[in-house]
Amino acid sequence: AQSVTQLDSQVPVFEEAPVELRCNYSSSVSVYLFWYVQYPNQGLQLLLKYLSGSTLVKGINGFEAEFNKSQTSFHLRKPSVHISDTAEYFCAVSSTTGNQFYFGTGTSLTVIP
Amino acid sequence: NAGVTQTPKFRILKIGQSMTLQCTQDMNHNYMYWYRQDPGMGLKLIYYSVGAGITDKGEVPNGYNVSRSTTEDFPLRLELAAPSQTSVYFCASTPQGRTEAFFGQGTRLTVV
């Protein structure tokens, strides 16, 4: 089975500052990795995903993430955040052989004006 | 371009009542999932299905039932509602390779 750990439950950051949201996973098989964003009272929307190939993945809204196999991490970054980035962010993993997605407990990003 | 559709969006139930949360997808996905989301707990898997006629339990199946008679529909049934089932419920579907999960907008359920 797989598991996902999001190391920070809340991250406050000032507008236009950079941000990194951390995600570590555990798995004994090859994995696919995802970041989803949830705006208040809405469903989850895909930000980006790593399936294979380049370890640096670019997503929507200026976000990017880097897959690090040796450190089993998939941290999400943005060089300059906006007020509109305030939301809950979920890291998720699925395996190439299993049937399920596993989600972290989420990181609440608050952008301060 | 509907994707995953959940109904209802909101519901208040009394303890002991029953209800069915509806989920439909129009992407011909084999895999479908039901999650519940509680504050600070992330998403917990209730049940999932890998195709019509096949369902399996997730992490927190107690108090719930599902069926999958067609590829499109995956309803979630609560037989005897309890306050512990107050939550936001999300349905999701993925294509065969599980390369992305598509989510519905959620159902906010309150049991009083």
Of residues A72 and A28, more confidence is placed in A72
Cis peptide before B8 (omega within 30 of 0): yes
- Between A45, A51, A105, which is nearest B99 by CB? A51
Is the torsion defined by CA of A83, A84, A89, A91 positive or negative?
Answer: negative
Cα separation, B90 vs A32, in Å, equals: 21
B75 touches B24 (CB < 8 A): no
Tens digit of each residue's pLDDT (9 = 90 or more) over B78-110: 999 999 999 999 999 998 877 889 999 999 999
Of residues A94 and B16, more confidence is placed in B16
User: Terminal CA-to-CA distance of chain A, rounded, Å?
Assistant: 41
Tens digit of each residue's pLDDT (9 = 90 or more) over A18-62: 999 999 999 878 889 999 999 988 889 999 999 988 999 999 999
- Spacing of C-alpha B29 from chain mean position: 15
**Is the pLDDT score of A95 beyond 90?**
no
| Angstroms from B44 CA to nearest CA on chain A | 8
Does B27 lie at the interface with A, CB-CB under 8 angstroms? no
Of all residues in chain B, what percent carry a pLDDT higher than 90? 88
* B51: nearest CA partner in chain A: A99
Q: Which residues of A have a CB under 8 Å from any CB of B?
A: 6, 9, 32, 34, 36, 42-46, 49, 51, 90, 92, 94, 98-101, 103-106
**Is residue A109 classed exposed, middle or buried when 0-12, 13-18 and 19+ CB atoms within 10 A define those classes?**
buried
Mapping DSSP onto H, E and C, the string for A62-86 reads HCEEEEECCCCEEEEEECCCCHHHC
Residue pairs spanning A and B at CB distance below 8 A: 56
Tell me what pLDDT residue B1 has: 66
Is the torsion defined by CA of A14, A90, A43, A63 positive or negative?
Answer: positive
- Judging contacts by C-beta atoms under 8 Å, the chain A residues touching residue B5 are none
Of residues B1 and B37, more confidence is placed in B37
